[in-house]
Structure formats: C-alpha cells, structure tokens
Amino acid sequence: MDDLKDKAMTKQQDETTAESSAKLDDINRKTGRNMPQAVATAAFLIVLIVASLLVRVDLFIWLIVVFVLLALRELHVSFATVHLYIPLVAFWLCSASTLLATYYLPDHVLVAGVGIAVSMLAVAISSNMRHVVGRRLKVAIEDKRNAAQSTDTSSDNKLASNSKTSESSLNNVAVSMFLVVYILVLASCIVLSETFNGHPVAHAIMLIFLPALSDTGGLFAGAFLGKHKLSPRISPKKSVEGLCGSILFAMIGAYAVFAVTYSHLWSRYWWVPILTGVMVGIIGTFGDLSASMLKRDMGLKDMGHLLKGHGGVIDRVDSILLCAPFFMLLFMLTGM
C-alpha cells in the first residue's frame, strides 16, 4: 500500500515538474531569453552597481568604462564576422581616456567635446591602417558564425552574402565613426549626467535602472499578454503590449525615485515622471529594435555571450545608451 502511495506521489511530482518545465520553456520562447539565467545575471548586475554607488560614485564611473570596453570588444568581433574591422586598441584608449577625463577634469562638457573630436580623428586614422586578424579573433569569429548558422537558416544566407563585403578602408572608417557616436558619445552623456546638480546617485539610478525596469516591464507584459506584434520583421518578440508594460514600469520607477529624491520639486515638476516613463519606454524599445536590426543585418543572433541570459553586453546596454541623452537634457533643464 505504501509503495502504491509512493509511486502515486512520485508520478504527481514528475507531472508537476514537467508542467513547470513546459511553462518555463514557453516563457523562454516568448521572451527569446533563458529567463533563470537572465534573472540571475540581472541580480548580480544590480548588486554590483548599487555597491559601487554606495562605496563611491567614482567606482560607478569606472564600471561604466569597463562596460564600454567590453561592449567594444563584442562589437569588434561581431563586425569582423562580416569583414568590417574597427581599431579596437585605439577605441579602448580613446574611450577610457575621454570618459575618465570628462568626469575628473573641470569644464566637463568642453572636455567631453574635445575628447570625442580627438577620438574620431584617432579612430579614423587607425581604421585606415592594415588590419591583422589574430588567432584569438579568428576563433571568436568562427564561433560566432557557427552559432549564427546553427540557430537560423536565414542567417546562413545573410552571413554568406555579408562574407563578400568589401574590406576597403572606407567601410571600416564608416563603421568606426558610427561606433564613436553609438558608444562613446552616448556613454559620455551618462558620465556628464553625474557631474551636475549634486544628485549623482539619483541620476545613476534613473540612468541605469529605469531603462532596465522598462525592459523588465516590456519582457513580462510581452510574455504574458503580448498578442499584437510591434515590428515582426525586425524583432518578432516585441509587442504593443510589451511597449505599454515598458512605459508603465518606467513611470512607476520614475515616481519612486522622484518621491525619494526630488520631493521639493513636486509642485512644479509633477509631470516629469509621466514624461520620463513615456520617453524611456519608447526610446528604450527603439534602442532594442535598433540593436536587433543591426544583428539581423549581420545575420547574428547575439552580439556576445558575456552576460548569461542577456545575449551580451551591448544587448543589455542598448536601451540605456539611447536613453542617456534624454536624461542628460532632463537633468539640465529641470535642475534635478
């Protein structure tokens, strides 16, 4: 009798486990991510960022620099898969020196402008030099091509056509100039936002966590409620319901930060959290779609694999980068 009860309980547990696994697989399929890995990675990043802010704001700036360098490494490999080469060492030196000088030197805006101009010149000159593909880069390129070909047959055709891309210096310069704007200019807006009005921690929380919160709202709203595709050709996972979730979560987060830090401005700027939620939701989604369009054009599923469950550093920071200029102008115009 006991054996029959044990078998029945075991069977019930197996059925429950199988049902839970099926639900998780369905959520992973809808979101396009490994959700347990994504949640664990997000928790680690939250702890890392909050710890840096609690210890010293300078550590947060250095953390931004590290993420920029890692993102450039991922983009270096991704573009190399389609025979477009960026001068990684020059990019690293210019980006690190510009971001750190922007924060530590006076006249922050002027320093950022000079640093970006010098970086454009240095990167353009370096892009014209002969590129030697080292062994480690060859291995990384081959791994990324194999990953793309194993996940999507359409990527085979895309990579096959892109493998014939001209390796002229002009193409390399064009891609490098694009990355100066996409990475360095936008990252400089994050650093500049930490240099005025005396609220660096609140600024950092809004800059980093509101786009992340917006992504989370869009992820869950899209997974459980998503029915109407937002842009099926660029990103089949994006939905109108997900966009609404992104706006709602960003708005709630903005109200929370505003109530804690800027309560003295409430009577004049009660509308700021509403505007912030709408803009972060829209701009963040546009940033995700831009990154998806870039990946789709190169025939790649992910830019990198450094952040488990998130597809890479650039996949994690694309919406943050696009939102950075909006936040910088918001802080400057409102005095927040």
- For tokens 């020196």, name the residue: 97
Give this prediction's pTM: 0.77
Question: Taking Cα atoms as reference points, which of 126, 130, 147, 152 lies closest to residue 77?
Answer: 147
Which two three-digit tokens encode residue 169?
A: 């210096």
Give domain status of residue 15, yes or no. Answer: no
In a domain, 243, yes or no: yes
Q: Distance between CA 166 and CA 48 in Å, rounded?
A: 41
Categorize the per-residue pLDDT at 160 as very low, low, confident or very high, splitting at 50, 70 and 90. very low
Q: Determine how β-strand 229-231 pairs with β-strand 235-239.
A: antiparallel
The answer to the question of residue 10 being in a domain is: no
Q: Which residues form the domain of 109?
A: 44-334
What secondary structure does DSSP assign to 69-104, as a single string? HHHHHHHHHHHHTTT----HHHHHHHHHHHHHHHHH
Q: How confident is the model at residue 161 (pLDDT cuts 50, 70, 90)?
A: very low
Contact in structure between 327 and 208 (CB atoms under 8 Å): no
| Residue 92 covered by a domain | yes
Task: Report helix, strand or coil for 45.
Answer: helix
Residue 18 lies in a domain: no
Model confidence pLDDT, tens digit, residues 225-275:
767 676 666 666 677 777 888 888 889 988 888 888 877 777 788 888 899
Looking up tokens 């989370």 gives: 216
Taking the C-alpha atoms of residue 321 and residue 150, their distance in angstroms, rounded to an integer, is 30
For 28-70, the DSSP string reads HHHHTS-HHHHHHHHHHHHHHHHHHHHH-HHHHHHHHHHHHHH
Q: Does the residue 282 lie in any domain? A: yes
Query: 210 versus 152: which is more confidently predicted?
Result: 210
Question: Into how many domains does the chain fold?
Answer: 1
Per-residue pLDDT of 94-127, as tens digits, reads: 999 999 999 999 999 999 999 999 999 999 888 8
